[in-house]
A and B are shown apart, each in its own frame.
Chain A
């Protein structure tokens, strides 16, 4: 069954008939990133207006691979469990060369995690779930479809937007303008910001097919299958993923000079699919031919305009670092923006969003460009090394690891950045939280459910946590006058060590560790993480 794209209604906004009071936050773009941003802020009591020029969810499956860390963030936003239930769980990637399997990797070989390494779920479902969750905050999220921003003006302490609707145009003032308007960001274009980087000439064909029979061998286990020089598509590469509703994603590398329009026609696509799936009956669901670039903005923050997601950085799809990177942007920005708007932190904290996420995005770009370079050799020397690496990979373990069909999305470490307090621990300050199962008085739970969303001090083993006003504390494998849990099967202690306290930021990154935490030390770490030690603008 093809997805039913029910349009969301256009409601004439107030601004058409009267001047609206200045809004704290306007989010431009109601894709996965803009919607996540609005929900994150709403959970912190911050109101936003979300503007989108369209009125349906993503047309086509587009982003389908959602990584573990992203799912943990989505858990906090209230859509993780729904995504997990609907999505196709996978963790193994297999690389083939010709007919032979040459290398496989397991992205999560251990248990004791609420979320798997990856799920595949079409972007339209993710957007649908996020919209439904956003609608649960009618007082805080003002979702406006068919509202297209045509101009915006930096007015120093706020931004003035001009918006076009089917009923005419109006203006809005916002303290903060969050640009979540995607790879082709009109906000970025209007501001004339340089967005240049490596452009890849190769074209790729994406075809989603609905098919009852699994193409994943006899065991029919959904995995990520990648071919270098497959028998059904000589000299090129191919990628296969399963999505819910018996939809399979097939990604085929095309010739550099292929005619993209012609390649997207059924008469060209169907024979290519048949070469892969044979006689199995299928229905073509969606086709797209694309090229890509690997680029990021020099600066993600321009006074009151903040770029989040694809508007700030784009990558090749190999490694699933686009959508996943964008959700991590939201995770990083949400608590900082809320702290600034509510007067708990200086605007300098927003600058750290740029520093930390620009670093994350550079790491994503490095990985995705290297994968793409490996997949598409540009010179005879590159082609020669690749073909010999593939040849050796049939039996040499080191050569298998050289095969790069995409290094899959992992959260970046923020180690060494200004908000973290230096310290040594199994999970060093800057690293994203590792999940672990816990048993408590109310039954089984997970660390990610207990220690995300707000600064949280967690004590593992024999370590006493001081009491600071407004700071949640959790004990693991200890008894105290704050909530305590047992590390189920010892996973939490094995991952974090014993007799040590960790301070988690609201986005789940470790910002400090303590062997003997005192109230003063803990307060100092919070002050550092809130940017109070940063040099503020004079």
Chain B
């Protein structure tokens, strides 16, 4: 099920997005893919709550193309 999450990034959303793009700068596709996986794991650890993480995974998954 898709859950709607309140915005917690603004007003720093542009700073965040730019930093994320900078983190990927100069990487190959494979390296970018691996970086994304590492970031998910790091962020999961920071969130540290299995219920929330499962909800997030379900919401993320709900957007997959049929």
Contact = CB atoms under 8 A, between A and B. Distances in A.
Interface of A: 367, 370, 373-374, 379-382, 385, 388-389, 391-392, 395-398, 400-402, 404, 407
B9 A402 contact: yes
B7 A379 contact: no
A385 B6 CA distance: 19
Contacts of A380: 29, 32
Given A380-B32, A382-B24, A407 B5 contact: no
Contact of A374 (B5, B17, B24, B29): B17
B10 interface: yes
Nearest to B21: A382
A404 B6 CA distance: 19
Interface in B6-40: 6-10, 13-14, 17-18, 20-21, 24-25, 27, 29, 32
B33 to A, nearest CB: 8
Contacts of A396: 4-5
A536 B24 CA distance: 46
A244 B60 CA distance: 45
A388 B4 CA distance: 15
B45 interface: no
Nearest to B63: A391
B8 A398 contact: yes
A395 B6 CA distance: 11
A445 B66 CA distance: 60
Given A382-B21, A398-B9, 12 more contacts: A370-B14, A381-B21, A385-B20, A385-B21, A388-B63, A396-B5, A397-B6, A397-B7, A398-B6, A402-B9, A402-B13, A402-B17
A401 B13 contact: yes
B14 A407 contact: yes
Contacts of B29: 380-381
Most-contacted residue by chain B among A380, A388, A391 (CB, 10 A): A380
B18 A398 contact: no
Contacts of B18: 370, 373
Contacts of A407: 14
Interface SS, A side: helix
Contacts of B14: 367, 370, 404, 407
Contacts of B17: 370, 374, 385, 389, 402, 404
Contacts of A388: 63
Nearest to A380: B29
A381 B32 contact: yes
B2 A395 contact: yes
A401 B7 contact: yes
B24 A379 contact: yes
A397 B63 contact: no
A437 to B, nearest CB: 28
Nearest to A404: B14
Best-surrounded residue of A367, A402, A404 (most CB of chain B within 10 A): A402
Nearest to A400: B7
Contacts of B8: 398
A289 to B, nearest CB: 27
A88 to B, nearest CB: 28
A391 B65 CA distance: 10
A400 B14 CA distance: 12
18 contacts: A370-B14, A370-B17, A370-B18, A373-B18, A373-B21, A379-B32, A380-B29, A380-B32, A381-B29, A382-B21, A382-B24, A385-B17, A385-B20, A395-B4, A397-B4, A397-B6, A398-B9, A402-B13
A8 B5 CA distance: 59
A301 to B, nearest CB: 30
A398 B17 CA distance: 12
A202 to B, nearest CB: 16
Contacts of B10: 398, 401
B7 to A, nearest CB: 4
A490 to B, nearest CB: 27
Contacts of A381: 21, 24, 27, 29, 32
Contacts of B25: 379
A385 B63 CA distance: 14
A200 to B, nearest CB: 15
Contact of B5 (A385, A389, A398, A404): A398
Nearest to B3: A396
B9 to A, nearest CB: 5
Q: Lowest 8 CB-CB distances: which A-B pairs, in order? A: A398-B7, A381-B32, A381-B24, A397-B7, A401-B10, A401-B13, A398-B9, A402-B13
A502 B4 CA distance: 43
A134 to B, nearest CB: 39
A373 B24 CA distance: 14
A396 B2 CA distance: 10
Contacts of B4: 395-397
Nearest to A373: B21
Residue of A381, A392, A397 with most partner-chain B CB within 10 A: A381
Q: Which residue of B4, B6, B13, B27 has the most chain A CB atoms within 10 A of its CB atom? A: B13
